Homo-oligomer: A and B are copies of this chain.
Amino acid sequence: MPDPTAGPRARYREQVRAEVREHAWSQITEAGASALSLKAIAQRMGMTAPALYRYFASRDELLTELILSAYLDLAETVEAAARAAAESTAESTQESTAAGGDDPARQVRAFAGALRTWAVSAPQRYLLLYGTPVPGYAAPPEATDLARRIAAPVQSAFAARVANETQEGASRTSADPALDLMVRLWTRLHGVLGLELAGHFDTMPVDPAALYAHELDSVLDA
């Protein structure tokens, strides 16, 4: 009883699917998400358009897969960064190790750094997730879960931090102070990234990287 997901045909299928996704990304990079076209991809691959329907049920299915894979990639990227920061803290600082944990601020910094690198390296990919929604297209429910997962490292870092502090709660926006901090970080970082990637700082004497770093600090030092 051979595994149909591991035979040579399945392998080939996965190769072609990957190649389609690759061409799809370069198309999105060059002309935005609304320019995604199965026919154009088929052409670049030296195939006919109907052939792609063996691999993707429709254009929307391909787009959904791209969006989910982008979310997943970002989630894994920021998780790895936060984890690395937590481990290096545990190694170098005896004090915090003795305190039984890691430095939340370091993890948040690692998260923010990874996020910016990820966004700047592929602006259209970032904008696909956090920019203007594609008209007439509704993101699948899994996207919400992944979006939550991306925020998780930050939120738990802030939760650890909040637990160590006396709470005043003067400027709370919601019931959960860790959520509050996470949202505040999220909006501030996105405020810089969104305008930067859209090119709005191009005609101004503004250094987006420095601004980003400042906004990060503004939340951590609050």
**Residues of A near any B CB (own CB < 8 A):** 30-32, 34-35, 124, 127, 130-136, 144, 147, 171, 173-176, 179, 183-184, 186-192, 194-195, 198-200, 203-207, 210-211, 214-215, 217-218
Closest partner residue, chain B, to A202 (CB atom): B144
Interchain CB contact under 8 A, B174 and A35: no
**Integer count of this chain's copies in the complex:** 2
Within 8 Å CB of A136, what residues of B?
31
Within 8 Å CB of A147, what residues of B?
200
Bound Cα distance from A211 to B100, whole angstroms: 33
11 example contacts (A-B, Cβ-Cβ < 8 A) are as follows A32-B134, A35-B135, A130-B195, A131-B131, A131-B132, A132-B132, A132-B198, A179-B205, A187-B188, A188-B191, A191-B191
Interchain CB contact under 8 A, A205 and B174: yes
